[in-house]
């Protein structure tokens, strides 16, 4: 019996933890990135990697790089597998482990965190009365089930977004991309990957949460031999009159490199 207990403990210690806040995406939720490679971009101790899931026993839904100093995500990455007209549940959650290392390893209500609540992430009250939407990076319309939709409602997947821009041109473009990837990629038996992010701005809401200057998104379709078939990108200025600029992955990389002041490659394996 003692031998069995010792073996069990050894296995438990050697098996990788499935905490949502992780030191590396690799071997945990790297399958949300094209060829398993996260973007190459800015690095800082304030950036936390999150493998997003809704319950302890649930599977991972997508991956997020989160900026705890600005309290907004850098990007969310996911495999697009289609969409369904699911009902919205506007109950927003947080990531407990960002504020309390002993917190649960899945998204949960704010009430579950008693220590340092909001120290490293935005809260619902930060948006109250500001006039900004909680702008999804991974949007509801890019999910194909109610459980998947629920997973998008975490504040680690949202940043302050002008409501006219969010509900207008940005929403229209998200729908166009979903339709295009379904028709030209998924219906051919291929797989599609998307990374959506923001560029920080110079203002904050509630003196805590940064208001992004830009929202951006890039997509890549690959065949069953892992060869890129087509890709594209777009971005928009986060203001009421913000327009959508259509661009290539290479041009988006150049723009993000200039805006971040450091090398940026959305698809680090150059999905062109």
Predicted model pTM: 0.90
Q: Contact 96/155 with Cβ under 8 angstroms?
A: no
Query: pLDDT tens for residues 138-168?
Result: 998 888 776 677 889 999 999 999 999 999 9
Task: Sketch the domain layout of the chain as residue ranges.
Answer: 20-260
- With a cut of 90, say whether residue 11 has pLDDT above it: no
Domain 20-260 grouped into CATH 1.10.510.10: no
φ and ψ at residue 5, rounded to 5 degrees = -65, -40
Residue 252 in 3-state DSSP?
helix
Query: pLDDT tens for residues 174-225?
Result: 999 999 999 999 999 999 999 999 999 999 999 999 999 999 999 999 999 9
Query: pLDDT tens for residues 93-149?
Result: 999 999 998 888 889 999 999 889 999 999 999 999 999 999 999 998 888 776 677
């Amino acid at each position: 019996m003692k031998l069995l207990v010792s073996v069990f403990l050894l296995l438990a210690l050697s098996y990788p933890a499935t905490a949502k806040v992780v030191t590396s995406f690799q071997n945990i939720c790297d399958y949300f990135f094209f060829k398993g490679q996260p973007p190459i971009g800015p690095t800082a101790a304030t950036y936390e990697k999150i493998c997003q899931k809704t319950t302890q026993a649930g599977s991972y839904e997508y991956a997020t790089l989160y900026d705890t100093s600005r309290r907004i995500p850098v990007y969310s990455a996911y495999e697009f597998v289609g969409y369904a007209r699911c009902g919205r549940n506007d109950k927003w959650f947080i990531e407990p482990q960002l504020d309390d290392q002993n917190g649960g390893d899945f998204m949960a209500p704010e009430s579950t965190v008693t220590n340092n609540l909001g120290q490293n992430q935005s809260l619902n009250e930060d948006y109250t009365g500001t006039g900004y939407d909680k702008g999804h990076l991974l949007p509801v319309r890019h999910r194909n089930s109610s459980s998947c939709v629920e997973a998008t409602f975490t504040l680690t997947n949202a940043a302050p977004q002008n409501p006219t821009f969010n509900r207008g041109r940005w929403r229209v473009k998200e729908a166009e991309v979903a339709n295009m990837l379904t028709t030209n990629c998924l219906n051919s038996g291929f797989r599609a990957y998307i990374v959506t992010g923001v560029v920080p701005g110079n203002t904050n809401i509630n003196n805590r949460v940064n208001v992004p200057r830009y929202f951006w998104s890039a997509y890549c379709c690959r065949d069953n031999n892992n060869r890129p078939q087509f890709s594209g990108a777009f971005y928009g200025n986060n203001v009421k009159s913000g327009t959508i600029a259509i661009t290539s992955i290479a041009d988006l990389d150049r723009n993000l490199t200039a805006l971040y002041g450091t090398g940026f490659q959305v698809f680090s394996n150059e999905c062109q």
